[in-house]
Structure formats: C-alpha cells, structure tokens
Amino acid sequence: MRQKEIALNIRPIKPVDLEDDEHPVGSYNTPLREDAFLLSDEEKIDKIESHFREIMVTLGLDLTDDSLNGTPRRVAKMFVQEAFSGLNPANRPVTRLFENKYKYDQMLVEKDITFYSHCEHHFVPIYGKAHVAYFSSGKVIGLSKINRFVQFFAKRPQVQERLTVQIGKELERVLNTEDVAVVIDANHLCVASRGVSDTNSKTGTAYFSGKFKDENIKREFLNYINAK
C-alpha cells in the first residue's frame, strides 16, 4: 500500500545542521558566496557561455557544426534564466496574504506539485512531487503562490533534504504559522543515469512543524496525499 511505503521511507528533516557521510550540508540555507550577485544576469550568461564552450571543445566536439554552435549560449541562458533562477533573491515570489474570512481552521493541502531541480553533486536533474499543507494562523495565501515557492527553491543546485526544509521554513515565515507540513517524493538521475543506475528507487523527505507533529494530524495528511 502506497501510504505505508511513504510512512516507512520518508526521512523526517529538522531545521538544524545536517550531515551526510559523503556530502556535508552546512544548514538549510543554500551555500552562496558574498559576491554571488555582483554580476548581472547577462554578464553571468556571457561567462558561462565561454566556459561551457571550452568544456565542449575539451570533450572533442566540433562547434563549427550547426547543431552545436549555439549550444554554449543556450546552456548559459538556461542555467541563469531557468534551471538556477531560484538562486537570485530578486526572483522570490511576491506574496499577498488575505484574511481568513471563512474561519477555516482545518489543514489546507496542496498536493502533487510537480517540480524539477538539479542535484548539486553532479548537476543532473531531480524531479518529483511536493505535497504541502498548513493551518492558518489568521491569514491565507493564494494557492498558486504555494506552487511558486516550491518552484523558487527547486530552481537551484539542490539536495532534497535542504529543498524540503527551505519550503517548510519559507511557508512558516510568509504565513506566520508554526503549523506546516512538506513531503517530497523524487527521482534522482544521479542514481538512475549513472553510478548504480537504479531507475526504480525514489527518495522521500518530510518536514513537519507545530500541529503536524501530532501523530493523528500527520496521519490524516499522509492519508490525504496518498488518496487517489
């Protein structure tokens, strides 16, 4: 039964320093240099284009070929404007809160949010579904904004544990609530397309705060996200 599988395989994440035997993670903040935003997006695209062209040449590719000639520029623009656009705080979703006029006091769940990210260890895709829930502390947020927060933090070089915590902590901050749940179920191409080449396994992570630490409420949330 899928609900049992998730309940057994999810690794709950706490918002504290995380460590992995192979890949140390300092905290739930993305590691960025202090000068990360001194260059404009266009300047970054120019530099990445030059460096990626050199990579392709080093691999032995003929960049005079019509199919390959524009690839360095395309990759550079994809990195800056799409795949890693979540690194730039200027792209953080603008939020507007609304009064909870309906006095809705049950959990609100947004499930099956599709996201695409990139593993920061090999720069290959991570993709999957995020399921998010919260209890209102008096304010509510437009549903599409929840999806946008997931996408904002996914558009970075990531590890799944950090992504899970970042989404949870951001929703706590924006909604001014301690009652947030985030579950992510994802495929990692660094596992599927290289190394062990296991195409069947998935990785589950979870973040629970406030009311969601209550086992009955947590079970209600997990049951709902697993319902067809």
Q: Is 160 a catalytic residue?
A: yes
Token pair recorded at residue 24:
């140390």
Out of 81, 122, 178, 220, pick the active-site residue: 122
Out of 81, 120, 178, 220, pick the active-site residue: 120
Q: Write b or e for each residue in 119-146: b if 16 or more Cβ atoms lie within 10 A of its Cβ, otherwise e.
A: bbeeeebbebbbbbbbbbeeebbeeebb
Q: Is 49 a catalytic residue?
A: no
DSSP 10-30: -EE--SS-B--SSS-B--SS-
Q: ∠ CA 56-58-62 to the nearest 5 degrees?
A: 55
Out of 118, 131, 166, 188, pick the active-site residue: 188
- Environment class of 86 (CB within 10 Å of its CB; exposed 0-12, middle 13-18, buried 19+): buried
Q: Is 118 a catalytic residue?
A: no
Q: Is 188 a catalytic residue?
A: yes
Out of 49, 160, 170, 172, pick the active-site residue: 160
Q: Is 23 a catalytic residue?
A: no
Q: Is 190 a catalytic residue?
A: yes
Out of 5, 51, 54, 121, pick the active-site residue: 121
Out of 49, 119, 151, 158, pick the active-site residue: 119
Catalytic amino acids?
Answer: 119-122, 160, 188, 190
